[in-house]
Homo-oligomer: A and B are copies of this chain.
């Protein structure tokens, strides 16, 4: 399943919705890293339905303009849970950070503070490892290298440091108040 599939599945699980409503979410909110084009959304929804991960019913309550409302099935919910709890790999951190954040945003459905904490701890560890990796690359930079590449790399490092900080802060909000 491509990321868009999970994004749709997650949103539909939160609340049944039409293709048009889902398009608006991608077009108007911070979830804009996923495509809102009809050529992406409608075929993706059809695939989800073929795989029985969602079901649809046509709504004609408002006049005869048909509107297909999707809701997630037991199978879809199960798949979503599995996706949320996948181990976080270094590849995820390197190339799919946005997908990790999408996963995190859907974590409430697991209703488990423990699961959230595991995610954030693993995320923080992987991000910190990658920061170390990038710092070594920076050290290995020849002094005559163009300053632009160096700056770009430094910017990347700052981003990951910011994510690590974010994870530590988020973690503190899910800490058990163990006395």
State the A residues within 8 Å of B (CB). Answer: 29-30, 32-33, 94-95, 101-102, 104-108, 116, 134, 137, 146-149, 151-156, 158-159, 162-163, 165-166, 170, 173
Contact B162 A159, beta carbon cutoff 8 Å: yes
Query: How many copies of this chain are found per oligomer?
Result: 2
Indicate whether A163 sits within 8 Å of B173 (C-beta atoms), given known contacts A134-B30, A146-B108.
no
A166 CB contacts on chain B under 8 angstroms: 151, 154-155, 158
Q: List 14 A-B contacts (CB under 8 A).
A: A30-B153, A30-B156, A32-B94, A33-B95, A101-B152, A102-B152, A104-B151, A105-B148, A108-B146, A108-B147, A151-B166, A155-B163, A159-B159, A159-B163
Contact B137 A30, beta carbon cutoff 8 Å: yes
A163 to B162, CA, bound (A): 10
Contact A148 B116, beta carbon cutoff 8 Å: yes
Contact B153 A170, beta carbon cutoff 8 Å: no
